[in-house]
Copies of this chain bind each other. A is one copy, B any other.
């Protein structure tokens, strides 16, 4: 397997899309890079190049075995296990995140939820009790968590990120509309709907 550090992030971010497409197909079937490409609107050459970083997995002329490729992608992405996640910020968005079935189905579970609002601390969100964010380091450490979700306002996000990182979190899904500064070795994935809206309106002519 290629060195994890050497594979471009843009390549790694396409693997979940391949995995998602494969999961709609029969385990035992075969699929060519052309067919997979058509499902996703990605060129077959791109798919072959992306997978070649990890060894290829296909046979010239016959394509990929769906079940095998899926297993390999799950290993590469390390989603062949369950991940516990810490959530900070339990407003409307935090509620939607904690209750989102799409994460759980793929093995990502919010196992601890925090807020700094005294009126929320002690309340329940599903089966979880909302805890004071001051307890974050202790809980992350005790549960050995590595994945965090930030759903606080922009002004609080960096402080939360810094606390997460010093507590041992290595991957942050950031819903706050602000870029985060984190040390090397910590991953951040920014969810930024406003960037999406503002870049799409650029293309709207004559309105």
Contacts and interface: CB of A to CB of B under 8 A. Distances in A.
Interface of A: 4, 9, 12-13, 15-17, 19-20, 40-41, 76-79, 83, 85, 91-93, 95-97, 99-100, 102-103, 106, 108, 144, 146-147, 154, 170-173, 177-179, 181, 187, 189, 191-205, 207
Q: Which 5 A-B pairs have the closest CB atoms?
A: A189-B196, A171-B200, A92-B96, A16-B198, A187-B200
A4 to B, nearest CB: 6
A129 to B, nearest CB: 19
- Dominant secondary structure of chain A at its interface with chain B: mixed
A21 to B, nearest CB: 8
A147 B92 contact: no
24 contacts: A13-B195, A15-B198, A15-B199, A15-B202, A16-B199, A20-B177, A77-B199, A77-B202, A78-B204, A78-B207, A85-B197, A93-B96, A96-B96, A102-B177, A103-B193, A106-B197, A108-B197, A147-B200, A170-B204, A171-B200, A173-B200, A187-B203, A189-B193, A189-B195
